[in-house]
Amino acid sequence: MPTAHAWGLDVIRWLQQGSPALDLPFRALTLLGSVGFAAALVAVLYWAIDQRAALALTGLYLLSALLNSALKALLQQPRPADLEIGVAILTQAAGYGLPSGHTQNSVVLWGYLAWRWPHRWLRWLCGAVLVLVPLSRVYLGAHFPTDLMGGYVTGLLVLLAGKALAHHRPAEAHQRSWLALPIGLLAVLSLPGLAIYRSETLAVAAFGGGLAIGYLAERRWVRFGEAASGAQRVWRALLGLSTSAALAGAAMGLRSTVWISLILLALAGLWVTWGAPSVFRQLWRSAEQDTG
């Protein structure tokens, strides 16, 4: 057994001395690095706070997810469960371990938020999440510490590339490029991961494709703006997320029927960037007419 893995198992055993008291807190913390949480957060950003920032974050996150699958397929490093059954496995995690997807994608998600809105409280929050989410992956037996290091480095590189792109693109082209970038690189990045992470890669492609098509349709026919009252922002989040959750839940439930699942994921992406903005605009336009 490689020294890094042997040392990693020792770290996991040491952390798991806090089990079962810390099981629930760490299971909750690990959700902050999940794809589902990221999708919900970006959707709310798009509907109610800052469309341009949401598009940039979406493009970076999709690119990071595709890159993570490709690197895992290339490196083919084991998870703790593959080496020693004695380590408690407190969460489900399939496939290879390096780099940690939760860590890498958290660096992109929370790192972007801290950079885009440099409020002190937000930076402290993002910093805490970037420590606790990766730590939760080790505690839960999903990753070795070395997997986290790979995730930190890869996520930081993606984030820095995004910042460089943001400084060298005109505003309108800048908006389009964030969704075009991961789609344009999809074929290259998905090749090594497609055989091993076929379902994950296709899911990212379906959802990302729906987002891109929906955005183009929204720009052409809707021209939705995120400006709204506080109450309207809350209603947008509730209505939008409930429909998104229903579509994503149906896709998860029908994973055995691959193409139906992918269609539902594409519809979920289409809903975020086109369907929901269309509904919101019509709802509040009607409300304004009724009160006027």
- Domains of the chain, by residue range, sit at 3-291
Q: In the prediction, which pLDDT does 288 show?
A: 47
| C-beta of residue 212 within 8 angstroms of C-beta of residue 176 | no
Give the per-residue pLDDT at 201: 76
Model pLDDT, residue 192? 54
Q: Is the distance from CB of 35 to CB of 65 less than 8 angstroms?
A: yes
Q: What is the pLDDT of residue 254?
A: 86
Model confidence, pTM: 0.89
pLDDT at residue 83 in the model: 86
Residues 255, 289: Cα–Cα separation, whole Å: 43
pLDDT tens-digit map of 60-113: 998 898 889 889 988 999 999 998 667 899 998 888 999 999 999 999 999 999
> What's the whole-number average pLDDT of the chain?
87
Low-confidence ranges of the chain (pLDDT < 50): 172-174, 288-292
pLDDT of residue 176: 55
Q: For position 227, what pLDDT does the model report?
A: 79
For position 197, what pLDDT does the model report? 62
d(CA 193, CA 191): 6
